[in-house]
Chain A
């Protein structure tokens, strides 16, 4: 057992840290109100895309959008621990980095895609040229994803897609839908689903904005009206999409902005130590106890985080671990927001830009955004079902 980073890991960590400090626009970390674990306050929703694009291109140039992928597909060929180190530092500085194509679609293609598909898609994803959005949820398929109805019918060399997707985060700033659709309506629900990559620019795709609780245009509803897609855009085998999406969801649950928790906590901690009109919130023993509680849970969350990366490096598939990590950190997201409110008292409710607002209204925004954390990528209840049934083998009936 050794909880230290190896020399190589330590050097990489320093390299990442130096890069971020040099390349991130000044004041970015402080300005940015991204709340760890949330889906609604990403910088992408409010800032000029060119700035983010520029930064991502520099990351891509270093191979850092695909750190653990083999070099032949544009990756950096590094370990999962190094990938985790990268995520940790990036999220600590609230830096815009990987997204759905790099963190979810790409790894799934790497696992299940044909050689042809890997060559076609992975270098572009690793190069930062391609962004995906997740076309999973539908108005009537939320937690019960297998009941999805969007259809993909074969027609010669193409598939014809009809249906509606919703809660489609970043669909409006992405290039392709990473979609699950029904390719065999006669098979049982889990066995007639395929995973397909669909170009946003295709004829028949209509994207309509949905404004989230924080006031940002983060997600959308997307309509597919006779959208034609080449059959080669099916990932892996036809009708096996359910198994792929389960793995893709595990990947999604591993993208935890762990450093963001620490960063935001440090800011709240600093606020607590500072005198406001003569008194520091930390003079209250209940506040000290609450902050210690959060510090402890952040440490526990970190351990789950490193554990999953370590498992991946040993060729193990973190499955319930992904669910546990997701569950623990998203609940922490909510506790952190509640603790922030408790520390700041009435000042916590002030939004960014308001007179008297502190920490740029971060806690106020986080208090709203943390709701999404426990819902996206499978609700907390779905995570507990997975842990109980897949992990502990408890019976379905």
Chain B
């Protein structure tokens, strides 16, 4: 048993922390949050130069051959600093499925462009039912002379507003409600009939409604096999869920550090508020939540990395980490008092993201239902 990071991972962690602190200050985070694009092309180029975007791609596709665990380490730092933008959508939701399910041509066409920062991706899975199961996929793709015609509405699609290609999950067989007959298409976001509307969200993240109105897609743009796309989606969801946990762990760690340092400085009743047991116990609870989240997230990430069955571990990690981050963010606010309730302060950036992350890929109740099922209940 070895519960430590490798030397390379420690280095990646340190350099990511330093880079993001310098290149993505909170002022920029706030500006990007308020912008329509939600990311900085300049920063994106720098991240591509650092090899972050292609971190987990094999070298032949312009990457550096890192592991999923390496990516998790990087994502934790992105959550710690808060990095707005389409990294998660492009790499986790878009590139990983191409890497695992794409054919050689697709990998060669997409991955080098993504790695060099020239192409952004996302995944369009959820629909107005806002659920993550196969039965909720109602968007259809009908074969028509070597092409497919896609019709349907996708909702809560992250970063579709800037994506160059959208991985669209659609039904290619009539049987509604089953996992059979689902296909994943690589759709050019500029295709006629694709209409993207930016939603206004709590966390200022760029989630979109994407309407596919008779969008024509070549049959060569099927990712994986026709009608057998659901396992591809499941695999993405599993990785994305752990990846989201990693971001949350970083965010919770940042809140803990901010709150503890404030508790040491802020004086009331002629003493630092951190000397009061009420505040000390809040901080102790935060440590417990943050460390527990990190351990359980890395365990799930390790299982995914090893290709071991991980359904239970991933659900456990997401259920626990989602709610732990929520608790930590609330306690952080309690410690900061009124100043934390302002737009000038950084606390709200974390508080908002804690809720958005909790809901993405299923909240505590959703994940506990998965755990219960795995327990044979």
Contacts and interface: CB of A to CB of B under 8 A. Distances in A.
A395 interface: yes
Given A303-B296, A389-B280, A288 B3 contact: no
Given A288-B377, A296-B320, A385-B281, 13 more contacts: A3-B1, A3-B3, A282-B377, A288-B369, A289-B365, A292-B372, A300-B316, A327-B284, A327-B288, A328-B292, A388-B283, A391-B287, A397-B275
Given A3-B303, A5-B1, A292-B375, A394 B280 contact: yes
Contacts of A381: 277, 281
B145 interface: no
Residue from A5, A384, A396 having most chain B Cβ neighbours under 10 A: A384
Contacts of B4: 1, 310, 314
Contacts of A384: 277, 280-281, 284-285
B319 A273 contact: no
A71 B277 CA distance: 44
A394 B275 contact: yes
A395 B264 contact: yes
B275 A303 contact: no
Contact of A395 (B275, B295, B368): B275
Interface in B315-358: 316, 319-320
A348 B121 CA distance: 54
Contact of A387 (B284, B316, B368): B284
B295 A300 contact: yes
A47 interface: no
Contact of B1 (A6, A293, A394, A396): A6
Contacts of B272: 394-395
B8 to A, nearest CB: 12
Say whether chain A's binding surface is mostly helix, strand, loop, or mixed: helix
A160 interface: no
Interface in A270-303: 272-273, 282, 288-289, 291-293, 295-297, 299-300, 303
13 contacts: A1-B4, A1-B5, A273-B376, A289-B365, A292-B375, A292-B377, A300-B292, A327-B284, A387-B288, A388-B280, A393-B264, A394-B274, A395-B274
Contacts of B3: 1, 3, 306-307, 310
A295 B375 contact: yes
B271 interface: yes
B320 A300 contact: yes
Contacts of A272: 377
Contacts of A391: 284, 287
A295 B371 contact: yes
Interface string A302-344: 0110110010001000001000100110000000000000000
A372 interface: no
Interface of A: 1-6, 9, 81, 269, 272-273, 282, 288-289, 291-293, 295-297, 299-300, 303-304, 306-307, 310, 314, 320, 324, 327-328, 381, 383-385, 387-389, 391-397
B335 to A, nearest CB: 11
A207 B303 CA distance: 53
Contacts of A3: 1, 3, 299, 302-303
B167 to A, nearest CB: 29
A289 B369 CA distance: 6
Contacts of A389: 280
A393 B263 CA distance: 10
A392 B275 contact: no
Contacts of A4: 1
B89 to A, nearest CB: 26
Contact of A324 (B291, B372, B376): B291
Nearest to A290: B368
B45 to A, nearest CB: 31
B320 to A, nearest CB: 5
B42 interface: no
Given A328-B292, A387-B288, A388-B284, A295 B299 contact: no
A337 to B, nearest CB: 19
B285 A291 contact: no
B260 A2 contact: no
B279 interface: yes
Contacts of A324: 287-288, 291
B6 interface: yes
Nearest to B297: A303
Interface in B258-283: 260, 263-264, 271-272, 274-275, 277, 279-281, 283
Contacts of B156: none
A395 B292 CA distance: 24
A2 B281 CA distance: 33
A2 B288 contact: no
Contacts of A393: 260, 264
Contacts of B368: 288-289, 292-293, 296
B1 A306 contact: yes
B368 to A, nearest CB: 4
A9 B1 CA distance: 8
A291 B316 contact: no
Residue from A6, A299, A384 having most chain B Cβ neighbours under 10 A: A299
A258 B67 CA distance: 32
Contacts of B6: 1
B155 interface: no
Contacts of B288: 324, 327-328, 387
A296 B271 CA distance: 39
A385 B287 CA distance: 12
Interface string B57-75: 0000000000001000000
Contacts of A303: 292, 295-296, 299
A277 B20 CA distance: 61
Nearest to B259: A392
A392 B253 CA distance: 13
B1 to A, nearest CB: 5
Contact of B287 (A289, A292, A314, A392): A392
B7 interface: no
Contacts of A291: 372, 375, 377
B2 interface: yes
B361 interface: no
A112 to B, nearest CB: 27
A300 B302 contact: no
A304 B295 contact: yes
